[in-house]
Chain A
């Protein structure tokens, strides 16, 4: 399986949104691509980067019908009833399957985020646009979420 590494197709996802539902989409696609034998990099920038803060993963609002948290509470209840995995589990699975996490340095600078505020155990690399382009130029799938 790992012997396929040199020839594996690649997926690169920019996680710009910090919304809970969009982070679900990003991590589900990332995990799915890994499970199907692809290499995956997720590049966290702007509001997405806030989710990499300690205790921040599940903190995002709903992108629509958040309604001061009421909408999110309702959706979370429905997700629990349907046995949907937590973002923490999806992130841990993503890392276990060899997924890469890149953190945007400019976002850290403009939003005053220090490396020690982040879940550094998840982060493989800190970089800028060149890092993304370099990752994405030979990717088969690239998404902006």
Chain B
């Protein structure tokens, strides 16, 4: 089981969401994808996308403008 970290800090709409999806597509089941970002709306929208994709958000931490989201593929 791998841990994949993607850094979207400084990126704006729709890049954090899109990069997260790209990483999730490449990950194997059981892998953990960690997304770092600073775009406030994406902090809410990445968990929304995970729900739509049926994936578990393991953890969301940090402030709205500096956050880390951990997702299990």
Residues 31-66 of A contacting B (Cβ, < 8 Å): 31-32, 34-37
B25 contacts A31, C-beta separation under 8 Å: no
Taking residues whose C-beta sits less than 8 angstroms from the other chain, chain B's interface range is: 10 to 19
Main secondary structure of the interface of A (DSSP, over half): helix
Contact at A2–B49, with CB atoms within 8 Å? Answer: no
Cross-chain contact of A36 among B10, B13, B48 (Cβ < 8 A): B48
Interface string of B47-61 (1 = CB under 8 A from A): 011001110000000
CB-CB under 8 A from A93, the residues of chain B are 18, 22
- On chain A, the number of residues with a Cβ less than 8 Å from chain B's Cβ atoms is 18
Contact A82 B17 (CB under 8 A): no
The one of A37, A82, A83, A84 in contact with B49, judged by C-beta atoms closer than 8 angstroms, is: A37
Residues of B that sit less than 8 Å from A by CB: 10-15, 17-18, 20-22, 24-25, 48-49, 52-54, 73
**Contacts A/B (CB < 8 Å), 24 sampled:** A1-B25, A4-B53, A4-B54, A28-B13, A31-B17, A32-B18, A34-B18, A35-B14, A35-B18, A36-B17, A36-B21, A36-B48, A36-B53, A37-B52, A82-B12, A83-B10, A84-B12, A85-B12, A85-B14, A85-B15, A90-B14, A93-B18, A96-B22, A97-B21
